[in-house]
């Protein structure tokens, strides 16, 4: 079986990490903020769980309850940009170019790299062009993968899940898969992908930021301060270690 991260598993992991997050320090901040924010997330991505735990604690310290809604990627951005939702969990820095009503929380949430996965076990570089565009399968809605495929002149083959991506690669429909690894958290870490070759160097590195609708500009500024504090305290490292440990357990 391939490593998907179905919604029920994401929910279970989220509960465990949220319980850990609740052990953090109580709020020492004052401000006029909403009692609750609704934040869009996409599932099937293991780093989502760590991001949710970090932001849950950050919001809690400001006295704000964070609720999450699982939505398709571009619909999530559209609703957050239009103010129908309060924000989006995390995105790359260029997201604001197409969604001007989104306010970036100016402290990095997570760091990542986009890697190519191929069938050839001896490969160390991207496949060569053979008179046609390379077919690159990618998770629908992962903007960094979509943008990178376009920049490199590849033909994108969007998939609805990582399981589907793996099958496209195995059946020869795709020359490579573009997969994100975020702080060591990867949806292709399990035994279902062990016969495939993830190339050693990332195609591109990126930073993920939390985004809010611009009506929450003051809240975004305060969140940046709190996120910096969580990293300085070691809370972020602890959350990531918990997530990595759970990923390793799922991969066995």
Q: Do 49 and 78 share a structural domain? A: yes
Domain that holds residue 41: 7-110+208-251
pLDDT reading at 213 higher than 70: yes
Q: Do 240 and 182 share a structural domain? A: no
What CATH number did the domain enclosing 17 receive? 3.40.190.10
Q: Do 131 and 241 share a structural domain? A: no
Q: Give pLDDT, residue 44.
A: 65
pLDDT band for position 132 (cuts 50, 70, 90): confident
Digit-coded pLDDT (tens) for 28-48: 444 578 999 999 998 767 789
Beta carbons within 8 Å of 55's beta carbon, 6+ residues apart: 39, 66, 89, 109, 210, 223
pTM above 0.95? no
Q: What are phi and psi of 53, to 5 degrees?
A: -65, -40
Burial 30-52 (b: 16+ CB within 10 A, else e): eeebeeebbbbbbbbbbbbbbbb
The reply to whether 2 falls in a domain is no
Cα(159)–Cα(205) distance, rounded to whole angstroms?
22
pLDDT reading at 18 higher than 60: no
If DSSP codes are grouped into helix, strand and coil, which group holds residue 69?
A: strand
Q: Do 214 and 95 share a structural domain? A: yes
The reply to whether 33 falls in a domain is yes
Place of tokens 């009692």: 35
**How many domains are contained in the chain?**
2
If DSSP codes are grouped into helix, strand and coil, which group holds residue 66?
A: strand
Report the mean per-residue pLDDT for the chain.
Answer: 87
Residues 59 and 65 sit within 8 Å (Cβ to Cβ): yes
Two tokens, residue 172: 């020869």
From 153, 156, 187, select the one nearest 173 (Cα to Cα).
Answer: 156
The reply to whether 189 falls in a domain is yes
The reply to whether 144 falls in a domain is yes
CA distances from 47 to 43, 54, 246 (A): 9, 11, 11
Q: Do 122 and 101 share a structural domain? A: no
Cα(149)–Cα(157) distance, rounded to whole angstroms?
10
> Do the bridges between strand 176-182 and strand 135-139 make them parallel or antiparallel, or are there none, so unpaired?
parallel
The reply to whether 91 falls in a domain is yes
pLDDT reading at 149 higher than 90: yes
The reply to whether 191 falls in a domain is yes
Q: Give pLDDT, residue 251.
A: 63
pLDDT band for position 200 (cuts 50, 70, 90): very high
Q: Do 146 and 117 share a structural domain? A: yes
Burial environment of residue 201 by CB neighbours within 10 A (0 to 12, 13 to 18, 19 or more): exposed
Higher pLDDT, 252 or 218: 218
Q: What is the mean pLDDT of residues 102-130?
A: 94
Q: Crossing angle for the helix pair 7-21 and 235-251, nearest 10 degrees? A: 150
The reply to whether 66 falls in a domain is yes
If DSSP codes are grouped into helix, strand and coil, which group holds residue 180?
A: strand
Q: Do 50 and 12 share a structural domain? A: yes
Q: Do 17 and 93 share a structural domain? A: yes
Digit-coded pLDDT (tens) for 180-197: 999 999 988 878 898 999
Q: Give pLDDT, residue 114.
A: 97
Q: Do 91 and 25 share a structural domain? A: yes
């Amino acid at each position: 079986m391939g490593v998907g991260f179905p919604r029920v598993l994401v929910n279970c992991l989220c509960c465990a990490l949220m319980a850990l997050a609740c052990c953090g320090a109580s709020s020492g901040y004052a401000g006029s903020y909403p009692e609750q924010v609704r934040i869009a997330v996409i599932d099937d991505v293991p780093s989502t769980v760590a991001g949710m735990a970090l932001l849950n604690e950050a919001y809690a310290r400001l006295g704000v309850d964070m609720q999450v809604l699982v939505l398709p990627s571009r619909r999530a951005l559209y609703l957050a940009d239009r103010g129908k939702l309060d924000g989006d969990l995390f995105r790359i820095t260029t997201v604001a170019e197409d969604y001007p009503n989104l306010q970036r929380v100016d402290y990095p949430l997570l760091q990542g790299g986009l890697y190519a996965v191929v069938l050839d076990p001896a490969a160390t570089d991207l496949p060569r062009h053979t008179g046609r565009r390379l077919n690159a399968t990618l998770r629908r809605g992962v903007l960094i993968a979509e943008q990178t495929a376009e920049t490199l002149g590849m033909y994108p083959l969007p998939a609805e899940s990582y399981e589907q991506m793996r099958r496209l690669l195995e059946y020869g429909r795709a020359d490579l898969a573009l997969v994100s690894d975020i702080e060591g958290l990867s949806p292709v870490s399990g035994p279902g992908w062990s016969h495939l070759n993830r190339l050693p160097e990332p195609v591109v590195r990126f930073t993920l930021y939390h985004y809010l609708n611009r009506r929450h500009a003051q809240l975004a500024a305060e969140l940046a301060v709190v996120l910096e504090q969580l990293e300085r305290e070691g809370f972020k490292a602890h959350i990531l270690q918990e997530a990595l440990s759970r990923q390793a357990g799922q991969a066995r």
